[in-house]
C-alpha cells in the first residue's frame, strides 16, 4: 500500500500539520511501509467479532451536577502563549 504525496498532503491537512516539502517524501515512504505491515490483519477473519474500544465494562459514569472547586482563571491561563483581558488571543479568524 503506497501512499502518494497527495495523500500525505491530505492527511497532513486533516491533522493540521504544515509539513515542509522535503519531509513529505520521507513520511510517504515510512507510512507506506507501516501500512504494508498492517495488511497481515487482513489474513484474520473478524466477521461477527464485536469491536473492543475499551477493556472496562464502564458506560457513562455519572455524578451529581454540583459546583466544585476549580482553577482560578489566571492560573488556568498562565501558560497561554498570548492572552489579553483574561482571554486567549489567536490570529484574526474572519
Residues in the site for another protein, rule: CB under 8 A? 3, 7-8, 11-12, 14-20, 27, 30-31, 33-35, 37-38, 40-42, 44, 46, 49-56, 58, 61, 63, 71, 75-82, 88, 90-93
C-alpha cell at 73: 482563571
Rounded distance between C-alpha atoms, residue 12 and residue 28, angstroms? 11
Helix, strand or coil, per DSSP, at residue 87: strand
Rounded distance between C-alpha atoms, residue 90 and residue 57, angstroms? 41
C-alpha cell at 31: 507510512
Minimum CB distance to another protein, residue 26 (Å): 8
Q: Are 28 and 4 in contact (CB under 8 A)?
A: yes
Minimum CB distance to another protein, residue 47 (Å): 9
Minimum CB distance to another protein, residue 81 (Å): 4
- Of residues 49 and 65, the one with the C-beta less far from another protein: 49
- Of residues 58 and 85, the one with the C-beta less far from another protein: 58
DSSP letter at 37 equals: H
Amino acid at each position: 500500500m503506497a501512499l502518494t504525496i497527495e495523500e500525505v498532503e491530505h492527511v497532513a491537512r486533516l491533522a493540521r500539520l504544515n509539513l515542509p516539502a522535503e519531509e513529505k517524501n520521507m513520511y510517504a515512504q515510512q507510512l507506506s511501509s507501516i501500512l504494508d505491515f498492517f495488511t497481515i490483519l487482513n489474513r484474520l477473519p473478524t466477521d461477527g467479532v464485536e469491536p473492543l474500544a475499551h477493556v472496562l465494562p464502564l458506560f457513562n459514569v455519572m455524578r451529581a451536577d454540583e459546583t466544585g472547586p476549580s482553577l482560578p482563571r489566571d492560573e488556568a491561563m498562565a501558560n497561554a502563549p498570548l492572552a489579553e483581558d483574561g482571554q486567549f488571543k489567536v490570529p484574526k479568524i474572519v
